[in-house]
Amino acid sequence: MARRILPKLVIFGDPTKGDVGAALEEFRGFAKGKVEIIASCGIDKCTLDILEDADFAIVFGGDGTIISAARQLSECNVPVIGVNLGKLGFLAEFSVEELKEHFDSIINGEAGIEKRMMLRCVVSREGQEQVHSVAINDVFITSGPPFGMVELKISVDGQPLAGCVSDGLIISTPTGSTAYNLSAGGPIIAGKVEGMVITPICPHSLSFRPIVINANSKVEVVGVRVNEGTTVSIDGQISCKLATVAVVKVEKHDGDFLVVHNPLRTAWDTLATKLGWAEKLKYNSGRQCRSSGR
């Protein structure tokens, strides 16, 4: 009798954080005989040859853990199963119990997989590359100490777009549109849409509004006037100082961030339950009487 070939799985998660260690141990027992676990990456990076051999990656933790793992998986197009053990869990769609309930359908290829675009960011100065990374959520520039406003020059596909005097700038994917971009007043964009959002942070102008551009556009941002602590950050996890005349180049990454969808939820359910989007007004149940003054 031929031996049954099991799907190959890579696990990401930091066992020292919260309930992650217990969840990892419980999952290994549950998955025995169902899949072949070829690596458990913890907080360390898995090598590319291991990741390329995986059929799925399962991430235990919060959205930050998923974003970190997704950058490692960006060259491999391996579908990510997110198990929420963090606070918000916007990208981590499954609870531990929901994962168990739908695990067989997931590994048999019956679950929906959503493609999300990613960004490629290169920061350079005088021809010297300082940072080169993939972004799942966003690339943002913050003014930093001593916290004066900065002046940035933005161009899209080689054409000047705007000068931006502000506390910074966010260039976001649709996935990241519900993160820093949303807090800064940018639009919510459905995850399947391919596009980029450029959102100023507290601009010194009433008319500088967020703009959505084509996913295939190439964005360049130059620091015209910056502070000593002005910083470029990628997903809030990789950072470098932005000096005057340094150039930040952002464009669509060739790979996709593949997310295994939880069939119990829609994208709009997640917005409503996690962020309280479009909640109904809360009316008083009883009538209020005005005082007659008598």
Q: Domain holding 194: CATH number? A: 2.60.200.30
224 and 140 together in one domain? yes
Report if residue 125 sits inside a domain: yes
Report if residue 203 sits inside a domain: yes
143 and 37 together in one domain? no
56 and 164 together in one domain? no
* pLDDT tens by residue, 229-269: 999 999 999 999 999 989 999 999 999 999 999 988 887 88
137 and 236 together in one domain? yes
The predicted structure's pLDDT at residue 250 = 98
- Residue 71's φ and ψ, nearest 5 degrees, are -65, -40
Report if residue 16 sits inside a domain: yes
Residue 164 domain boundaries: 118-254
The predicted structure's pLDDT at residue 47 = 84
For residue 36, the cross-strand partners are 8
* pLDDT tens by residue, 12-32: 998 888 899 999 999 999 999
Q: Domain holding 88: CATH number? A: 3.40.50.10330
The predicted structure's pLDDT at residue 118 = 97
Q: What's the CA gap between 194 and 152, in Å, rounded?
A: 25
Prediction pTM value:
0.90
The predicted structure's pLDDT at residue 27 = 95
129 and 239 together in one domain? yes
Report if residue 218 sits inside a domain: yes
249 and 131 together in one domain? yes
Q: What's the CA gap between 84 and 235, in Å, rounded?
A: 18
Catalytic residues: 63
- Residue stretches of the chain with pLDDT short of 70: 1-4, 43-44, 88, 285-294
149 and 207 together in one domain? yes
For residue 180, give the H/E element and its range.
helix 180-183
Report if residue 219 sits inside a domain: yes
232 and 130 together in one domain? yes
Q: For residue 80, give the nearest of 63, 97, 101 by alpha carbon.
A: 63
* Percent with pLDDT over 90 in the chain: 70
Residue 268, classed as helix, strand or coil, is helix
Report if residue 208 sits inside a domain: yes
184 and 219 together in one domain? yes
The predicted structure's pLDDT at residue 290 = 53
39 and 129 together in one domain? no
19 and 55 together in one domain? yes
Number of domains in the chain: 2
Report if residue 287 sits inside a domain: no
The owner of tokens 């551009």 is: 213
Report if residue 283 sits inside a domain: no
125 and 232 together in one domain? yes
